[in-house]
Amino acid sequence: MSRLCVVVGGSRGIGQAVASLLAEKSQRVVVVSRNLDAARAAAASLPGADHIGLNCDVSSEQDVQRTFEQILRECGNVDYLINAAGISRDALLARTRPEDMMSILHTNLLGTMLTCRASLRSMLQNRGGAIVNIGSVVGLKGNVGQTVYSASKAGLQGFTLSLAKEVAPRNIRVNLVAPGLIRTDMTAALDEDELKRAVPLGRFGEPRDVAHAVHFLLETPYVTGQVLLVDGGLRLAS
């Protein structure tokens, strides 16, 4: 049976890899990002028909509301939600501007809360569903220059575990994938040769590595409230 999957942040990087894998598994995908052209192009590139791309800024409650109403109207109830939208603005705390703190928290943390809230109606009507949020290994171990980003990702962990408890009686599962260093636009400016030495598996991950973990959590019916690290062992190295 084909499921309706909403991949927030699906136009690039990890979200795009998740969208591709789900489409390969014959699921119907709604790609969401701020850039409409990019969301549409990503949807059009997926195998299979009926995928669509929509624009939404997850940091805006009104935008999230409008988008999920449109999804319900045009595609029906959401079965799977993947929250892969995220931003980083790396800087020492003393040099981090308050407006950047707000952007990071509003996108990474509040944005995920809003999309989860907006998709619950569908999942309750469907009598089940699954959500995977994308956190980060730095939410578990911290990192210099990433205080606010780490806080947003640690916040996602508490949110994910609490929501998992809240909605388990309604057959809705909620899990968190915490990637390490993954090769995407977000990490393009980093010195990969230097940083990969700290990774026990000796390399940056590919977006597809994360997509497999997301797919596992979406499709495994007796798993909820888990944090799955996809970090090549980076957490062990600290």
To ligand NAP, the closest distance from the beta carbon of 217 in angstroms equals 14
Positions in 101-140 near ligand NAP (CB under 6 A): 107-108, 111, 134, 136
Binding mask 178-197 for ligand NAP (x = CB under 6 A): -x-xx-xxxx----------
Binding window for ligand NAP (CB under 6 A); candidates: 45-53, 89-97, 164-172, 174-182? 174-182
Size of the site for ligand NAP (CB under 6 A): 30
User: Binding to ligand NAP by residue 57, rule CB under 6 A?
Assistant: yes
Measure the CA–CA gap between 230 and 181, rounded to whole angstroms.
9
How far, in Å, CA of 162 to CA of 145, rounded? 28
Residue 51 CB coordination number (10 Å): 24
Residue choice 14, 54, 211, 217 for contact with ligand NAP (CB under 6 A):
14
- Let me know if 222 is a catalytic residue: no
CB of 145 to ligand NAP, least distance (A): 14
Least Cα distance to 17 among 214, 159, 217, 229 occurs for 214
Catalytic residue among 68, 80, 149, 159: 149
Query: Can you read off the two tokens belonging to residue 96?
Result: 């981090």
Position 58 contacts ligand NAP (CB under 6 A): yes
- Alpha carbon of 133 to those of 44, 49, 95, 177: distances in Å? 24, 26, 28, 6
What positions carry a catalytic annotation? 149
